Amino acid sequence: MTDVVVLGASLAGLWTAAAAAGAGARVVILDRDPAPAGAALRAGVPQGAQPHVLLHRGLRAGEELLPGLRGDLAAVGGISVDTGRLPWLGEHGWLPAQSSYDVVSLTRPLFERVVRTRVLALPGAGIRWGVRAVGLARCEAGWRVRVAEGSDVTASLVVDATGRSTRLRTWLSEIGVDTPDPLTVDARLGYATQLLEGGPDPRDLPGVVLQATPQSPVGGLALPVEGRRWLVTAMGFGAQRPPRDADGFAAFLAALPDHALSAILHSGRPVGEVAVHRQTGNRRQRYARVPDWPEGLLAVGDALCCFDPIYGQGITVSACEALRLRTALAAGARAGDTRRLLRDFERIVDFPWAVAIGQDLQMPSSTGQQSRAQAAVSAWASQVGRRAVEGDRRAHRVLMRAYHLESSAAALLHPALVASVALGLVSRTSTRAPRPEVLDGLAA
């Protein structure tokens, strides 16, 4: 018997295994995919060809779980990007450049390979590929994971990290545990991404973001990745989701409010086909509200709460959940720990969930409507964004901290920020940042 079984070898599962092994537990990961050959795309990670960002809070959490991780990512070619200097066109115009939190940009398969290698080097950690979990049963040891191939696995703690495809609610129903329906908000976002060889030198251009807004629900981004390559992404909501054919993709980028992404696309050589992804709805399970929640069972990452990936929060949230799990395991098991951990996970999820659905509910294509409180918060955040575009350095810092999950919603109400917004509303003039000069070198 193992101490901990983790279902799913994606990043949420890997963070969880790192946490368990770091607390001294014997842990095995089960994954239905065959063992990947190096940094290869996997069927179980359908979003693997899309850009991925480990927000600064996630980078710190990853370093705590796997010390030296940042250096490992850099060693395989990860690109350091200062997000405060990233050309960013938002609702009110271009954000002025102001050094802020940095991230490491690389492709998702390579990111997973680096983390997986580090996790499997930990004492007591292992993985079984090609094993599909089909159900759960209680047993004397705690839990028996029923699998479709090979022998069942028993453990005192089972952690569901199977992502959006989780079947945990079905399995719980089979053993007599009822769970409430999840909260859902779907703005019907669609992604399309082209990998390029060549393109601009990332030392000259760290990337570009053209933000989709309720008034213009299309946008895109470009980020440099390892091997002197770029990921160029188009995004759109509802009926304006980008196509998968190369010509349609190029035309979509050419029609955006700025030509920067189109210019980057034509500055390199396309590698492979355009990759499309449309599983982007927000869904939050409410397991902490189940009064008879079974001890020794947890859900993490997208299996617990999945976000619209446009905000880049999922990997970071799962790393923070793993840190909380490591603390609990290191302290020793006590009765009721599992439900208490789920409540702690809910608190970790609260702020990024509010950010994601607050933005998505503003989109005309979204399911559901904002409450009055949500509408008020969105309107206020928009005014803070306006002040950042107009050069208010505090507003810029607050937005960056919120984006990287390094603060809470309360930071948006700092008295000095309130005064700045009020001044901006009564002022008859405003100065906004021009288009960043770093983009001038891109051909029209």
pTM listed for this prediction: 0.95
- Residue 354 in this model has a pLDDT that exceeds 70: yes
Instruction: Write phi, then psi, for 252 (nearest 5 degrees).
Output: -60, -45
Q: For residue 443, what pLDDT band results from cuts at 50, 70 and 90?
A: low
2-52+108-185+281-355 folds as FAD/NAD(P)-binding domain (3.50.50)
Residue 427 pLDDT > 80: no
Segment among 54-63, 256-265, 417-426 with least mean pLDDT: 417-426
We find that the CATH architecture of domain 189-277 is: 2-Layer Sandwich (3.30)
Pairwise CA distance, residues 1 & 140, whole Å:
11
Using a pLDDT cut of 90, give the percent of the chain over it.
Answer: 82
Q: What percent of the chain has pLDDT over 70?
A: 98
State which H helix or E strand residue 218 sits in.
strand 218-225
pLDDT level of residue 336 (50, 70, 90 thresholds): low
Question: pLDDT tens for residues 397-415?
Answer: 999 999 999 988 788 888 8
Secondary structure in 3-state letters for 25-47: CCEEEEECCCCCCCCCCCCCCCC
pLDDT confidence bin for 369, thresholds 50/70/90: confident
Q: Are 147 and 22 in contact (CB under 8 A)?
A: no
Contacts 24+ apart (CB under 8 A), 130-137: 130/31, 130/32, 130/33, 130/34, 130/35, 131/30, 131/31, 131/32, 132/32, 133/7, 133/30, 133/32, 133/162, 135/171, 135/174, 136/171, 136/172, 136/174, 136/175, 136/297, 137/175
Give the C-alpha separation, 346 to 308, whole Å. Answer: 17
Show me where the domains of the chain are located: 2-52+108-185+281-355, 189-277, 372-426
Taking residues 15-38, report their average pLDDT. 95
- Please state, in angstroms and rounded to a whole number, the distance separating the CA atoms of residues 179 and 287: 7
CA distances from 168 to 182, 239, 284, 300, 377 (A): 12, 32, 13, 11, 33
**CB-CB neighbours of 364 under 10 Å:** 13
Helix runs in 156-236, H state only: 168-174
